[in-house]
Amino acid sequence: MKFLHTADWQVGMRATMLGEKGERARMARLESARRVIELARGEAVDFIVVAGDTFEHNGVDRIKVREVAKILGGADRPVYVTSGNHDPIMPGSVWEEPMWREWPNIHLLMNEAPVEAPGATLYPCPVSARDSSDDPTGWIHPINGSIAIGIAHGSVESPAYQQAAPVARQAAEIRGLDYLALGHFHSKALYPGSDGVVRMAYCGTHEQTAFGEQASGNALIVEIARRGAPPRIQAARTGILEWLAYRRKIEEPGQIAALATELDELSDPERTLVDCVLEGTLVGGDHDALAQLLEVVEKRFLFGRSDTSRLVPDQSGPEWIDRLPEGYLRNAAQDLLAAASANPPDPAATAALREYSRLWREVNQ
């Protein structure tokens, strides 16, 4: 028995941080959803499990809901969908729409009750409230000798964050499941049991939603030979866009120029988003390299942003200041340099000095 595990499509997310490029990110979520279905066909899985948060919220435009139903309906195999904390079961939810009934292969699992699937019994844990302190898997007790698959949307217990719908780290063992398909966290994560066998996992979102998400943009192909057999889990790429975060501490001359070259050589800039954060010391000779880097980040990619507020110029000063006409122009630049390289540095002076440099280069081109 083989199935595909996906979750957290978040269709309808606004992606406001991307400004005018947000629409491209929103469309990518549907493109990636189609990739998930293509993957299911290519892997010849018996069925598909969608473990919650298919939608960003229950107020999503019904045209998008219909599009998702059409995508899932075209899978040519059973699709089992449960709710998450973003799209919980409630009056007026997306799950009440009659369009779901147009596709006989789509099964909405909105009750805590066993469901027979090809080669397995499913134990869904639908979400009916955005916040809950209860373990959603608490009701599960396998009822027969078939392969037992749990589907839950919640937070695996960790001291690092506040729990919402907490799921025990050994939940698959505790509940007697062969596999627990999890949704909620956007990064892929596997949880070995006491015997070292992985029987529960987050697949991560099918399309990355923000910078800093690790191992997202995937779906999981899960194969289980029989009841009690170790699952064979394979991650497969489904994401369209690449979200790349660069965090660099500048400690010597040339590092900024090297980073600019590295970014300039990235392939597929039209589907790449870049977040570049620099800190450390900016030596006088690297001001032009910094200008080049910022231009690459902000103009080459689908989306780019940079933060250089913690990059402090040293007292040597950029060479362009020495080329300014004597008088108030040069004096103003030198005053800004002194404030920007002071201890503590003045971030406003640093930003003003950089803008001054940009204007001076434009005038002299």
Q: Which amino acid is at 84?
A: G
Comparing 18-32, 54-68, 77-91, 166-180, the range with the smallest average pLDDT is 18-32
Dihedral class, residue 29 (left if φ above 0, else alpha if ψ from -120 to 50, else beta):
alpha
How far apart are alpha carbons 201 and 271 in whole angstroms?
A: 28
- Determine contact, residues 227/148, Cβ cutoff 8 Å: yes
β partners of residue 281: 312
Q: Which amino acid is at 210?
A: A
Q: What are the φ/ψ torsions at residue 331 (nearest 5 degrees)? A: -60, -40
β partners of residue 80: 49, 107
CA-closest candidate to residue 137, choices 180, 92, 178: 180
How far apart are alpha carbons 365 and 355 in whole angstroms?
A: 16
Q: Which amino acid is at 52?
A: G
How far apart are alpha carbons 262 and 251 in whole angstroms?
A: 17
pLDDT exceeds cutoff 80 at 365: no
CA-closest candidate to residue 251, choices 291, 287, 278, 275: 278
Domains within the chain, CATH numbers bracketed: 2-237 (3.60.21.10), 242-363 (no CATH)
> Quick one: tokens of 39?
């993957």
pLDDT value of position 158: 63
CA-closest candidate to residue 353, choices 284, 293, 304: 284
pTM of the model: 0.86
pLDDT value of position 103: 96
- Determine contact, residues 284/314, Cβ cutoff 8 Å: yes
pLDDT value of position 163: 62
319-331 average pLDDT score: 82
Kindly report, residue by residue over 180-236, the tens digit of the pLDDT. 999 999 999 999 999 999 999 999 999 999 998 889 999 999 999 999 999 999 999
pLDDT value of position 337: 80
Kindly report, residue by residue over 253-305, the tens digit of the pLDDT. 899 999 999 999 999 999 999 999 999 988 766 878 888 999 999 999 999 99
Which residues lie below 8 Å from residue 313, measured CB to CB, with a gap of 6+? 281, 282, 283, 284, 287, 337, 340, 341, 350, 353
Determine the Cα angle at 277 with ends 273 and 279, to 5°. 165
